[in-house]
Amino acid sequence: MASTIWVNKQALAQTEVHDAALPPLSEGAVRLRIENFSVTANNITYAVIGDQFGYWNFFPAEGDFGVVPMWGHAMVEESHCPDIGVGERVYGYLPMGTHLDVLPGKVSAGGFTDMAAHRQPMSPIYNQYSRLAVDPEHDPAKEAERMLFGPLFKTGFLIEAMLRREGWFGAANLIITSASSKTAMGLASVAKDLSSTIKRIGLTSKGNMDFVVGTGLYDEVRAYDDISDLPPTASVCVDFAGNSQLLRAIHERLVSHLKYSCLVGATHIDARGLNSSGASGGEMQGPKPILFFAPDHAVATIQELGPKGFGEAVGRSWKSFLTAADGVVEIEISAGLKAAQTAFLETLQGRTDPQKGIIIQP
C-alpha cells in the first residue's frame, strides 16, 4: 500500500491522505520507499506557483488535487533496473508520501535521471537523483540539514551568482525580505563570502528579530515597520515574502535608488496578490519586479563555470553555510503522513518557528 498527501490546487489548506495499492513494477523501473523529507516554505512556493511552472506535474494526482514535491531520501525497495540494487539509498525530488516509482536513465556511479515520460517537459534538474554511496555532498551526520537547506541554499547561491554577474546592477546594498527564511539565509551567507563589499540588510517581523540577528549573516536587521527608514542608497531587493504591500513600500521608499527588484518564492501567501507588473492595484514605482526561476539560472551558471567548477563552487559555499548555520536551527523529526499534513498546513499559514527545521519520516 502506498499513501500520498493530496492537496487541493485551488484551496491549498484542503488536504487528504490518499491510499492506493502499489501496482506491479514496470520493466526497467525502480520503486523507492521514502525514508524522510523536509517541509519548508520552499514547498509552499511549489504549490502556490505550481500551475505556472509545472510543479504539480511531477507527481500527478486526480481532479482538483495535486501532490506537492519534497526534497528527501529514499531507499530502493524493488528494482527492475540491473544497474541499481535493492537497499541502495538516494536523495532527490520526492512526493509527500511513502513511495515513488522512477524509470532510471543516464545512470552513473553518482546518480541517475528519472526518464518517466510525464516528467520530461519539466526542468531536468528536478529529475536527477543522487546515489548516496558516492555522492560528494552526502554527509550521514548532516542529512537533515541537506533536506532543509540544500535546495534552498542552491537557490540563494544562484541568486548571488546572477547579481554578481550583473555587477550588482551598480548597487551597494542588498535588501532581503523574509530574512529568517532558509533561502534568504543561504543568499546572505553566499553574499557575505563572495561579495563582501555589498551591505546585507535583512527585513523580518519583530518576533523574528532576535533569531535573524543571531544568525550573524546580515550587516543590519530591520523590522518590517522600519522600511520608511531604509537608506536612500543604490540597492537591489530580493523579495522572499511575496507580500505585495511590503514590496510596494520598499519600492516607494527607494524609487530610483532601487536598481533591481527580484521576486523569489512566496512565504506570505495570503498577501501575494501580485499582477503581471509585480504590483497590486497598479504599477509600482522603480524597476519592474522580475521573477527568479532557479533552474534557468542554474543552466546559465553551469555554462559560466563549467559543471566541475560549478560543483566545486557550490561545495565551498555550502560548507561555509553549514558552519555559519550550525546550531541555528533545531531539527524536529515527526513520524507519519498526518504529521506531514500538519506541518504543511502550519507552514502554509506562516505558523512555523524559523528556529525549527521540520523533518518527516512517512
Strands (E), the chain: 2-8, 15-20, 30-39, 65-66, 69-79, 89-95, 99-102, 104-105, 111-114, 128-131, 173-176, 199-204, 220-223, 235-239, 258-263, 290-291, 330-335, 356-361
Query: Which residues are within 8 A (CB) of 73 and not within 5 positions of it... i.e. 6 or more apart?
Result: 34, 35, 36, 37, 89, 90, 91, 132, 143, 147
CATH placement of domain 2-138+329-361:
3.90.180.10
Q: Residue 351: what pLDDT?
A: 86
**What is d(CA 290, CA 358) in angstroms, rounded to the nearest whole number?**
30
Cell of 114: 528519472
- The helix (H) or strand (E) run that includes residue 22 is none
Q: Residue 316: what pLDDT?
A: 87
Q: Residue 270: what pLDDT?
A: 44
Q: Residue 271: what pLDDT?
A: 44
Contact (CB, 8 A) for 257 and 234 = yes
What is the gyration radius of the CA atoms in the chain, in angstroms? 20
Task: State which fold the 152-295 domain adopts.
Answer: Rossmann fold (3.40.50)
Residue 238's nearest CA partner among 202, 195, 270, 192 is 202
pLDDT in tens, 164-174: 999 999 999 99
* Residue position matching grid coordinates 533552474: 295
**Strand pairing category for 356-361 and 30-39:** antiparallel
Q: In the chain, what percentage of residues exceed pLDDT 70?
A: 95
**What is d(CA 17, CA 340) in angstroms, rounded to the nearest whole number?**
10
The strand pairing partners of 39, in sequence order, are 358
Please state the domain extents for the chain. Answer: 2-138+329-361, 152-295
pLDDT in tens, 74-87: 999 999 999 999 99
pLDDT in tens, 191-245: 999 999 999 999 999 999 999 999 999 999 999 999 988 999 999 999 988 788 8
With vertex at residue 241, the alpha carbon angle to CA 51 and CA 360, rounded to the nearest 5 degrees, is 70
pLDDT in tens, 121-141: 988 889 999 999 988 778 898
Segment 224-227 long-range contacts (CB within 8 Å, at least 24 positions apart): 227/203, 227/253
Cell of 63: 481532479
pLDDT in tens, 137-184: 788 988 999 999 888 898 999 999 999 999 999 999 999 999 988 889
